[in-house]
Chains A and B, each alone.
Chain A
Amino acid sequence: MTIELDQREDGELIGIILQAAGRGDFETMARTASEVSEMTRNWATHIPWDDLAALDGADGELARVVEDLTEMWEPAHLRNPVDPDEEYALDKNAYDFYRPAGRNLLTRTEDFYDWVQARRRTETWQYSRVLEAAPDSVAQITNDLGRRARGINFNSQDYLSFNTHPAIREAAARAMHDYGPHSAGSPMVLGNTRISDDLEAALGDLVGLDHVTLFPTGWAAGFGAVVGLVRQSDHILIDRLAHSCLQQGARAATRNVVRYEHLNVEAVRRHLTEIRATDSRNGILVVTDGLFSVDADWPDLVTLQRVCREHDATLLVDVAHDLGSMGPGGTGVLGMQGLLGEVDIVMGAFSKTFCSNGGFVASRSPALKQYVKMFGGSHFFSNALSPVQTAVVREAARIIRSPEGDVLRDRLFTAIHALRDELTGRGLTCMGEPSPIVPLLIGNEKLARTANRLLFDRGVLAFMVEFPVTPTGSSRFRLQVQAGHRPEEAREAARIIEGALADSRAYLSSAFGSAPR
């Protein structure tokens, strides 16, 4: 092969050609071009290396060649600077800030804050918006720059529209009148009231399990159930996408945590067999959601519960999103799979359908109930649900069980189908199954953040989720539908979202769309 050790480097040659072009010295251009390596000539086939001497400037030929050579010689971004805030805001992800540097806990948060500020300045920060009035199917909000917007509201988790329901508001007012605003203590001391007992019974009836414990938040219920039951030598198998309260509970409880592939019951069976092959002494908790809040799908709970029993493992299912809003009589995914009263441990939250804060853990075992109350720190050491919250949830549970509950769920699903059909018909990708959560897959974060910015002024309130809620590169809009949404509102929202996405693609000049994996 040819050895060309002594020849000049191509970049230098291109620099000389560009200088010669500036002087109109075509002879030097041609002579220098003959020295350019085969590598570069074969790669830069758009440069007429052999014909540089023949250029005469006619038809802008020379100008084009100079432009092409400059492209090879000078960093493009130094010639075309962009807004550094926007670049920073659109490029980074939260995981870039997860392990900060330095021994000073106060100062090492500043890099992250710089990024948040860049996103705020460019209005691509989707968090911490505030409501200006009661959220309904339409809401008025303000972003954290103080800009106000009003739009069709897919950003509130009030699936049966109880927030504006007269009976719910009446129940809250009555509890306020009877007990005052405060719960005045831990439920283990004197935080509960007579209506707390009623609520536990009503929830037990809804999920078919007799022994129910109330928690002040849904997060506390999930975290408390896991850390209350599981000890360091026990094992946890948890769906990769299970809710954060369960993931963090698992990490706090034991190092023996396996995060299994989403919904994969066969993977659970395999892991259980492996664990039981070496450990017959300790407990295994298998953890999953009923309806997954980011993908809108659900596991085969019948098989999962059976597999757990076969390996003497315990199943915990989080029904936060589906209980009340789906399934026969509002019994959620459990009712849909004929599993009422059959699952070992069921936990849920009142913040989605039940129009309040709080959560619960339910089982068939009075012993388990008493144990979790004592050892789930988030129960023992938190103040109880307030009487107003308790009364609201109890009334919500009553309506969910009544014929009116069926009517509301019908309305909810009419709006869900209208929204999904309109989005899908426009070539967009809705993930999962019809449920109050409609995840609209975007993928690319830059595209999602830009669309989110545009939507603010266009009359649709939609929450954009990205890492750590979703894996990187699979951001989406999580649209939460309410019974109060009219189908035409849902279709109008879908049209607006599609427009915002199209404009974002044009703004970013992106070829990537709302595309499947």
Chain B
Amino acid sequence: MQMYDAIVIGARCAGASTALLLARQGHRVLVVDRASFPSDVISTHFLWPHGMSYLNRWGLLDEVLAVTPAHTTVEVVNDGIRLSGSVPPELLREYFRDLHGDDSGVVQSYASVRRRVLDQILVDAAAGAGAEVRTNVTVRELIVEDGQVVGIRGRGVDGEPVEERARIVVGADGRNSFVARALDLPKYDERPRCTFAYWSYWSGFDLGPAQLHRRGRLACAVVPTNFDQNMVLVWGPSEWSREFRADVPGNYQKALDFVSPELGEVVRLKGTRQERIYGTLDQSAFLRPLHGPGWVLVGDAESAKDQCTAIGMTHAFRDAELVSAALDGWLRGTASIDEAMTGYESRRRSQNAAAYHDYVCTLAEMRPYRHDELQLFVALRGNQQETDRFIATHADVAPVSEFFQASNLFLLNDAAKESSADHPVFADFAETSRMYQQNLFA
């Protein structure tokens, strides 16, 4: 039987990238997926600039940009307080130096790439790099010998049995990971409060860069994507989901109108919906153990989070680079498996990673912004450098702790150019806050 260096289960953002990088490093890689490509999967399909930078580092960015609109600024509007900015290149370079020891290929743009587009590009690249890609393969069993995972058993497209062995099995199979289930891995740092999210694809308007709006406990985003369409996404606290579901198309439009009447109007008057409305609320956050004898997890399989910061794909790419660098050292014999996995783990379980996990989970609760939080957004207006740093923090480029430290918040306050008087949300704040607590869909 053929023996691989690595078998990767799952051929999307985390898996195909890991397979691609390992294959380029000269290792014998098999990557399997139960789907065939092109195909879609539930996803915000948004790539922050570090996500795009990974694609650029791997030489795939041009192919993506050939069919996908990209921008460098993003608009964030919280209760009518508008901020516009970019992730600063120097922070991006610092991110790559800190995490990967090399800041080549940094780009400042972001894009929203349909998974039927992106995943195909990744799978083709993995195959092009020499990885063996098998689609329509369902893994049914991990082969374990002496407590060590040594391979997989499953079945192919026509039901024919599949059995393969490798020195390591990489679980890149998403938040519902088969690998994690087969190994009965526990979940850690679970944060059940999350958002419900509903979205669809609209043609008929072009609003330029991505817009993220939030009002009270609801939010929406309009992001240009492939096929001259826009992804229009609305989300809110999962405890309102039951009422939302009573009338999905009606409440979808109602949420848009509430969060941003202007956007609601554009979608209603100019938009043509091109697909059904998709939705999910199975987004509660958790972590799983990263590695064990003969296996390692990457992407959502290891750490899944709510969609509210749209970071999942970017994190999957990050994991792919981290894990392939670690495995490469081990496969070449320059590091023991323990050293390799400890190195991977130290980056994935760092203080910064923990702080960002908390940041996303807290945001995902979709509590109405407090007065002080909104005042912070006001203070940021007119301070482009700090606005950009805030956006970088939101996107997990800059550490949360470097923005949310007392001396920085004091500084922002002291340098604020605007007062809350210019923003209607502050006019009768207590009453507005009470109104925000009411379920809009009840």
Which residues of A approach B to under 8 Å, CB–CB? 1, 3-7, 9-12, 15, 37-40, 42-46, 68, 71-78, 80, 91, 93, 95-102, 111, 238, 240-241, 244, 247, 251, 255, 257, 259, 441, 443-446, 467-474, 508-513, 515-517
Contact = CB atoms under 8 A, between A and B. Distances in A.
Contact of B176 (A45, A251, A443, A469): A45
A98 B413 CA distance: 11
Contacts of B362: 91
Contacts of A97: 370, 372
B410 A45 contact: no
Interface residues of B, number: 83
B132 to A, nearest CB: 21
Closest 4 CB pairs of A and B: A473-B355, A101-B371, A99-B372, A471-B405
A71 B282 contact: yes
A288 to B, nearest CB: 13
A509 B43 CA distance: 27
B93 interface: no
A474 B355 contact: yes
Nearest to A260: B407
Interface stretch (B149-157, B317-325, B345-353): B345-353
A240 B407 CA distance: 6
B421 interface: no
Contacts of B69: none
A511 B278 contact: no
A95 B404 contact: yes
Interface stretch (B73-81, B83-91, B102-110, B184-192): B184-192
Given A101-B430, A473-B400, A77 B276 contact: no
A473 B351 contact: yes
B407 A247 contact: yes
Given A9-B278, A46-B181, A515 B350 contact: yes
13 contacts: A11-B241, A43-B176, A74-B242, A75-B238, A91-B358, A244-B406, A443-B354, A473-B351, A473-B358, A473-B404, A474-B355, A509-B186, A517-B351
B284 A513 contact: no
Given A472-B401, A512-B354, A40 B349 contact: no
A184 to B, nearest CB: 37
A344 B429 CA distance: 49
A111 B405 CA distance: 21
A68 B358 CA distance: 25
Contacts of B174: 43, 45
Contacts of B354: 443-444, 473, 512, 515
Given A46-B176, A473-B354, 10 more contacts: A9-B245, A9-B248, A39-B278, A42-B41, A240-B405, A443-B355, A471-B400, A474-B401, A512-B351, A512-B357
B352 A75 contact: no
B279 interface: yes
Given A259-B408, A444-B355, A473-B400, A4 B276 contact: yes
A511 B188 contact: yes
Interface in B212-262: 227, 238-239, 241-242, 245, 248
Contacts of B359: 473
Contacts of B305: none
A72 B352 CA distance: 30
B376 interface: yes
Contact of A99 (B238, B281, B352, B375): B375
Interface of B: 34-35, 39-43, 98, 116, 173-176, 178, 181, 186-190, 192-194, 196, 198, 227, 238-239, 241-242, 245, 248, 273-282, 284, 287, 289, 346, 349-359, 362, 370-373, 375-376, 399-402, 404-411, 413-415, 426, 429-430, 433
Contacts of B355: 443-444, 472-474
A467 B406 contact: yes
Contacts of B353: 512
Contact of B42 (A39, A91, A241, A510): A39
Contacts of B194: 75-76
A197 B174 CA distance: 72
A39 B189 contact: no
Nearest to A71: B282
Nearest to B404: A472
A285 to B, nearest CB: 16
B273 A474 contact: no
A251 B411 CA distance: 9
B349 A101 contact: no
B351 to A, nearest CB: 4
A40 B280 contact: yes
Contacts of B357: 512
Nearest to B359: A473
Nearest to A514: B351
Contacts of A445: 358
A45 B372 contact: no
Contact of A100 (B239, B372, B415): B372
Contacts of A443: 351, 354-355
